[in-house]
Structures are given as structure tokens and as C-alpha cells.
């Protein structure tokens, strides 16, 4: 009799043959601009720790103090016995930072999308999603019983066409939910949220923006894409984000009206049925918000580093695609070449990973670099030089 699990090895082996498998590296210590990975000292160019806050002394001390005062864990889900004062304070501080009526903290950003999207749109509704939205959005949409369609990437005119067609549906849709990433994580481009909000508003649709890569990066003091475009916050109904990137910790969240938060905490099973964050995590997130509000130099340094590095690799001859943020892809094309490129970079002290199919199109492989506020000018010069060396070896420049 055939082993019912034989497909596991077969499918994995197929990925290895096609150079599409993930091989995990080990970070030996803290995520710092210069760190140790797999026994080698390298420059970190692929972390989401944009502002280098995961090692900020105020944030580390807040985490340690919370363990001393509140213990190692919360002991429960929040609806039962795990709703600590630290969680409540975090949501109060986050809502103030986002200039929203209320915020709700989820265990992860993925949990926010997977838990809330299916509750916002159900049978008789329509979800309209940018074609390059993050996988967590895609999974959240798949969990919904609503009809779903996509509009061309960052194309407001096509969105308008889709919404016009949706208004002809019989019977009429009860609700329409338009969802977009704020910053797209593979290309580093920014959604035209101002136009999306205007068009969706004209058609009476709800707007949901996943700003995981925009918070701490875009807008006044890192307040995100809504601030970046100066949009009236009442016209963007759900702002989703994460503490695991620019904030330097972990966790997801949504911000908006008090009605949104009351709805979300009563309807999202990912929130209702998952243990709440340990005290150290909640306290560290509060400290991160405090740092963003009082130390603007981190956001400023991030953008200075981004502009310097992007200019440097472009002058060598690399294509950085549509990047308009600290996500700077070095376009390669072929997946096998991208993996070779990454291995050679690692050999000379640069940790930057390849992004290959199915995360991007078959001919869209790239080395995705992500800038960090803690990188020095010398670090950046070293990185640019390494890209030039390997690029010439592989005859890419």
C-alpha cells in the first residue's frame, strides 16, 4: 500500500530541483546592522527591522521590567483572563499615535487579516483586492463567503471600472470591501491610496489598507500611508499594521472607529481564540510607540540610507524596479541566478536573500534588500561594492 504521506517528500524534492525551496539560515544573536548568521559576520540587508528598534535600550528595558512586574505570560486569551492593563495601555497609545478613535492588537499581522477580513464581508457581499496583495490578505479573502474579484495592480481606473460593474450586480451587493496593501513588500512601491479612497468612497465601498510596511516608514513621524497622503482618516475604514517590522517587536493591529474595534474583538476568531501577548511583548510595543513619537531621527536616518543605497546600486547599472520605499529590489530575473547571487553576496559578508517564484513571477526573481536606520555610511558603501563585485561576476552589470 502506498504511503499516504509520500507526497510530502515528492513535492519538496520537486521544489529543490527547481531551486524554489527555502533553506533557513540561523541568526546567532540580535538582529543588528552587522550581525552573525550561520557562523559568519555579515551586514544584515534583509530584515524588516527598518528603524533598528529591536535593540533600542528603552524598548529592551521595558520588556525586562514587564517580566519583573507581570510575569512571563498572560495566562489566557484576552476575552477570559488574559486582558492585562499593558494590553489596554498599548491600544490606547497606539490609537493616539494613529490618530484614530480606537485600536485593537492581534497576535500577528497575519491573524488580523485572516480573522477580520472574513467577518467584514460575507455572503451577498463583494471583496475587491489589488492583484499583488500580500498572502495574508489572500488567505483572509479565501476564508470569506463573499464574492471576490481583483483590480490591476495600483490601477485606480481599473478599480473604478470594477466598482461600476459591481453596482450592476443583481441582487445588489449588501457591502463592498476594497482591500490594498499600503507598501507592496516585493517591489517596495506605494499604493495610490488617495485615489483608491476617493473612488471607493464615491461608490460607497469600505476601504481596508494593510500598512504593515508603511508604519514607521511613511507619513509624519512614521504614522503610515494615510498620513503620507494626508487623507481624512474617516474615509479609510480599516488601517491594519504590525509591530514586527518598523516597531521592532511582534504583533498585529487594526485602527479605526470604536465601532470597528467593538466589531472586531467580538467577531475575529483569531483574536478571540489565541492567547494574548506576553507582558514583555506588550510593554516593548508601548515603548516602541513612545520612541517613534519622541525620536524622529530614526525615520529620518532610514530615508537617508535608502536614498544613498538606491542611488549607489542604480549608478552601477542595477534595476531597482518600482521601489519608492526602503524596500529596494535588485532585479535579476532568473530564480537560479538570484540564488547564486545571494550565496556569493553571503560569501563576501552581505546577507540579502533571493525572492523567487511563486512569491514573484517566474521571470521576476530579485535580491530584495531592506534598508535599516542603523546602517552607517561605511556599511552602505561596503554593500554597494559587494553588489558591484557579484553583479560583474554574474554579468548582470
Tell whether 300 and 254 lie within a shared domain: no
Q: In this structure, are 148 and 254 located in the same domain?
A: yes
Q: Which is higher by pLDDT, 335 or 51?
A: 51
Percent of the chain with pLDDT over 70: 100
Q: Has residue 20 got a pLDDT over 90?
A: no
Q: Which residue has the cell 508604519?
A: 215
Residue 311 and residue 352 in contact, taking contact as beta carbons nearer than 8 Å: no
Does residue 19 have a pLDDT over 80? no
Distance (Å, whole) CA 223 – CA 217: 8
Residues 152 and 165 in one domain: yes
| 335: containing domain | 13-44+296-393
Read off the pLDDT band of 2 (50, 70, 90).
confident
Active-site pick, 74, 136, 144, 185: 185
Is 134 considered catalytic here?
Answer: no
Shared domain for 126 and 273, answered yes or no, is yes
For residue 94, pLDDT over 80 is answered with: yes
**The CATH number of the domain where 176 resides is what?**
3.40.640.10
Regarding predicted confidence, which is higher, 334 or 292? 292
In the block, residue with C-alpha cell 499516504: 4
C-beta separation of 259 from 42 below 8 A: no
Residue 20 is part of a domain; what is its CATH number? Answer: 3.90.1150.10
Answer whether residue 313 is part of any domain.
Answer: yes
Residues 250 and 313 in one domain: no
Annotated active-site residue in 245, 277, 298, 339: 245
Residue with cell 495566562: 75
pLDDT of residue 342: 96
Establish whether 376 is a catalytic residue.
Answer: no
Alpha-carbon distance of 298 to 216, in angstroms, equals 9
User: Does the residue 22 lie in any domain?
Assistant: yes
The model's confidence at residue 261, banded by pLDDT at 50, 70 and 90, is very high
Pair 259, 290 in one domain: yes
Q: Is residue 180 situated within a structural domain?
A: yes
Where are the extended beta strands (E) located within 144-234?
A: 147-151, 176-181, 206-210
Catalytic residue among 213, 228, 277, 339: 213
- Do 245 and 219 sit in the same domain of this protein? yes
| Class of residue 292 by CB neighbours under 10 A (exposed 0-12, middle 13-18, buried 19+) | buried
Mean pLDDT of the chain: 96
Note whether residue 52 is domain-resident.
no
pTM for this model (two decimals): 0.94
The arithmetic mean of pLDDT across residues 307-336, rounded, is 96
> Is the residue at 133 inside a domain?
yes
Q: Model confidence at 360, in pLDDT bands (50, 70, 90)? A: confident
Let me know if residue 187 belongs to a domain. yes
237 and 196 in one domain?
yes
Q: Mean pLDDT over residues 179-200, rounded?
A: 97
Give the pLDDT mean for 281-297: 98
Same domain, 301 and 235: no
Q: Does residue 266 share a domain with residue 308?
A: no
Task: Mark which of 294, 319, 352 sits at the end of a domain.
Answer: 294
249, 269, 294: which is the final residue of a domain?
294
Among this protein's residues, is 245 annotated catalytic?
yes
User: What are the DSSP calls for 228-277, one per residue?
Assistant: HHT--GGG--EEEEESSSTTSS--EEEEE-HHHHHHHHHH-HHHHTSBPP
Strand ranges, E, within the chain = 34-37, 40-44, 102-106, 126-130, 147-151, 176-181, 206-210, 238-242, 252-256, 327-333, 350-351, 354-355, 365-370
Q: How large is the average pLDDT for residues 134-138? A: 95
79 occurs within a structural domain: yes
Q: Is residue 220 one of the residues assigned to a domain?
A: yes
Question: 140 and 78 in one domain?
Answer: yes
| Residue whose grid cell is 511582534 | 250
Using DSSP, how many helices (H) and how many strands (E) does the chain show? 14, 13
Query: What is the predicted pLDDT for the residue at 213?
Result: 97
Structural domains of the chain, count: 2
Mean local confidence (pLDDT), 80-85: 97
Gap between the Cα atoms of 232 and 130, Å rounded: 21
Whether 75 and 186 share a structural domain: yes
Q: Among the three residues 259, 294, 329, which one is the final residue of a domain in this structure?
A: 294
* Residues facing 167 on adjacent strands: none
Residue 191: pLDDT above 90?
A: yes
pLDDT grade, residue 361 (50/70/90)? confident
Amino acid at each position: 500500500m502506498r504511503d499516504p504521506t509520500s507526497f510530502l517528500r515528492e513535492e519538496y524534492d520537486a521544489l529543490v530541483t527547481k531551486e524554489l525551496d527555502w533553506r533557513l539560515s540561523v541568526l546567532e544573536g540580535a538582529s543588528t546592522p552587522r550581525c552573525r548568521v550561520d557562523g559568519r559576520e555579515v551586514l544584515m540587508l534583509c530584515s524588516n527591522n527598518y528603524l533598528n528598534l529591536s535593540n533600542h535600550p528603552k524598548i529592551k528595558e521595558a520588556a525586562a521590567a514587564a517580566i519583573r512586574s507581570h510575569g512571563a505570560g498572560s495566562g489566557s486569551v484576552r476575552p477570559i483572563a488574559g486582558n492585562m492593563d499593558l494590553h489596554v495601555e498599548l491600544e490606547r497609545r497606539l490609537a493616539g499615535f494613529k490618530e484614530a478613535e480606537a485600536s485593537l492588537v492581534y497576535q500577528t499581522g497575519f491573524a488580523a487579516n485572516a480573522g477580520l477580513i472574513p467577518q467584514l464581508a460575507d455572503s451577498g457581499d463583494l471583496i475587491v483586492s489589488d492583484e499583488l496583495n500580500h498572502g495574508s490578505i489572500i488567505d483572509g479573502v479565501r476564508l470569506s463567503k463573499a464574492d471576490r474579484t481583483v483590480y490591476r495592480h495600483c490601477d485606480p481606473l481599473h478599480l473604478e471600472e470594477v466598482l461600476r460593474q459591481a453596482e450592476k450586480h443583481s441582487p445588489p451587493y449588501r457591502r463592498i470591501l476594497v482591500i490594498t496593501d499600503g507598501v507592496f513588500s516585493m517591489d517596495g512601491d506605494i499604493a495610490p491610496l488617495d485615489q483608491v479612497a476617493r473612488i471607493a468612497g464615491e461608490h460607497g465601498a469600505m476601504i481596508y489598507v494593510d500598512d504593515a510596511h508603511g508604519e514607521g516608514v511613511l507619513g509624519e513621524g512614521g504614522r503610515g500611508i494615510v498620513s503620507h497622503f494626508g487623507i481624512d482618516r474617516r474615509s479609510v475604514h480599516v488601517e491594519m499594521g504590525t509591530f514586527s517590522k518598523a516597531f521592532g517587536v511582534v504583533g498585529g493591529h487594526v485602527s479605526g472607529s470604536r465601532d470597528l474595534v467593538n466589531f472586531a474583538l467580538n467577531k475575529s476568531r483569531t483574536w478571540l481564540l489565541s492567547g494574548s501577548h506576553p507582558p514583555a511583548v506588550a510593554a516593548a510595543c508601548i515603548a516602541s510607540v513612545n520612541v517613534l513619537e519622541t525620536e524622529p531621527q530614526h525615520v529620518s536616518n532610514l530615508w537617508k540610507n535608502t536614498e544613498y543605497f538606491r542611488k549607489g546600486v542604480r549608478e552601477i547599472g542595477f534595476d531597482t524596479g518600482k521601489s519608492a520605499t526602503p524596500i529596494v529590489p535588485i532585479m535579476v530575473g532568473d530564480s537560479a541566478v538570484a540564488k547564486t547571487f545571494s550565496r556569493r553576496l553571503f560569501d563576501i559578508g552581505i546577507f540579502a536573500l533571493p525572492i523567487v517564484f511563486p512569491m514573484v513571477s517566474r521571470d521576476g526573481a530579485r535580491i530584495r534588500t531592506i534598508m535599516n536606520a542603523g546602517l552607517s555610511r561605511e556599511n552602505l558603501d561596503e554593500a554597494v561594492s559587494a553588489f558591484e563585485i557579484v553583479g560583474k561576476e554574474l554579468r548582470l552589470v
